[in-house]
Amino acid sequence: MVANFSDEALTIPKATVLGIAERISESMVAKINTKSEANLIEPAKPPRKRRNETLYYKLLQGKLDHLTQEERESILNRS
């Protein structure tokens, strides 16, 4: 992805233009970059562990239906 924030034409050698995207603000680009950097800092979990965690929270949520939202959040945040 290439972002050009100036009004000047941008020439990229040896590239194929697939289309022209809509304009995007510099703050939006910075926000996307910050999220990408945050994802790189956290190590990725193996697929089995992600599936197990998802199933755990799904089953746990069913057992916590009788509690208030605040009580559920406090229990889930401890896990």
pLDDT on residue 1: 64
19, 51, 55, 56 from 45: Cα distances, Å: 35, 10, 15, 15
pLDDT tens-digit profile of 23-58?
A: 778 888 788 777 766 666 666 677 777 788 888 888
Mean pLDDT of 4-20: 71
pLDDT on residue 4: 73
pTM of structure: 0.30
Mean pLDDT of the residues in the chain: 75
Structure-derived torsion over alpha carbons of residues 14, 16, 19, 20, reported in degrees to the nearest 10 = 0
Which residue ranges make up each domain of the chain? 47-78
